[in-house]
């Protein structure tokens, strides 16, 4: 009888011990693992989204441009380059362009620059519409464009000595901190409206005592003459003499 009671006690202890073993808990382990995977999914998705946005879209703070499209770079690789190694576009029909940009601010107090005035004598803009400087014989005054990844419209209303003879566009910023944050960047622009070569020439005509203005002025005149020749040829082709 004692032996029977002892065996019964051992059996009860064994039954109580078995559920605590991991081998006898497959359902609980699977559920836990599945719960951990479900918890990790949102974090993983956020991480993947951050990788995608940083590689293909505008920056998080909305200040810096998106990456240049590879097709735009490829199409520019066959063009002649300026002294900075950036492409020179001869046709105004090419509106998506690979461009080197720099940054400037009126707070630099550069010699010859009068406060926050641009080369047209108006106030430099920094809002939904923003000011930019360029060689006016390449981007005439009034040229409007967008930078990929940014919501603003930029208008060429200024020029600079170091920009003459180059394809660089200088982006205006009102503070030195923002200017330094932009620094020098290769961007993709989309020209949405070309400015006026005639207005550029008229503004530059009285400033040819400055070497960079003279360079832009005569280059602009040459472009105007070429356009007139092309327009005359087109008129002649449309109205052939009998």
Domain boundaries, the chain: 70-195
Task: From 233, 115, 220, 240, select the one nearest 174 (Cα to Cα).
Answer: 115
Spans in the chain with pLDDT lower than 70:
1-61, 112-113, 241-242
CB contact at 8 A, 203 and 120: yes
- DSSP assignment of 108-122, as one string? G--TT--TTB-TTSS
**Which pLDDT does position 34 carry in this prediction?**
54
pTM of the model: 0.73
**Which pLDDT does position 67 carry in this prediction?**
94
**Which pLDDT does position 52 carry in this prediction?**
36
Task: From 73, 60, 221, select the one nearest 136 (Cα to Cα).
Answer: 221
- How far is 120 from 130, CA to CA, in rounded Å? 14
Which CATH code is given to the segment(s) 70-195?
Answer: 2.40.40.10
CB contact at 8 A, 216 and 167: no
Kindly give the interhelix angle for 211-238 and 197-205, rounded to the nearest 10 degrees.
140
| 131's tokens | 């000011």
- How far is 172 from 177, CA to CA, in rounded Å? 12
**Which pLDDT does position 9 carry in this prediction?**
53
**Which pLDDT does position 109 carry in this prediction?**
80
């Amino acid at each position: 009888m004692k032996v029977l009671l002892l065996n019964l006690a051992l059996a009860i202890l064994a039954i109580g011990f078995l559920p605590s073993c991991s081998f006898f808990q497959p359902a609980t382990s699977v559920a836990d693992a599945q719960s951990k995977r479900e918890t990790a999914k949102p974090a993983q998705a956020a991480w993947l989204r951050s990788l995608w946005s940083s590689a293909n879209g505008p920056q998080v703070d909305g200040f810096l441009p998106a990456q240049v499209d590879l097709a735009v770079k490829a199409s520019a690789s066959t063009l002649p380059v300026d002294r900075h190694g950036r492409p020179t576009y001869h046709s105004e029909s090419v509106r998506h362009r690979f461009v080197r940009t720099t940054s400037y601010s009126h707070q630099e107090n550069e010699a010859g620059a009068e406060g926050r005035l641009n080369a047209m004598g108006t106030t430099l803009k920094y809002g939904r519409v923003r000011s930019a400087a360029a060689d006016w014989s390449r981007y005439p005054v009034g040229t409007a464009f967008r930078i990929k990844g940014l919501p603003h419209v930029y208008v060429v209303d200024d020029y600079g000595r170091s920009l003459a003879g180059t394809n660089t566009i200088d982006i205006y910023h009102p503070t030195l901190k923002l200017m330094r944050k932009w620094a020098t960047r290769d961007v993709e622009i989309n020209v949405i409206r070309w400015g006026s070569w005639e207005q550029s020439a008229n503004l530059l005509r009285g400033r040819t005592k400055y070497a960079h203005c003279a360079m832009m002025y005569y280059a602009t005149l040459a472009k105007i003459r070429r356009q007139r020749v092309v327009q005359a040829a087109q008129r002649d082709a449309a109205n052939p003499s009998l």
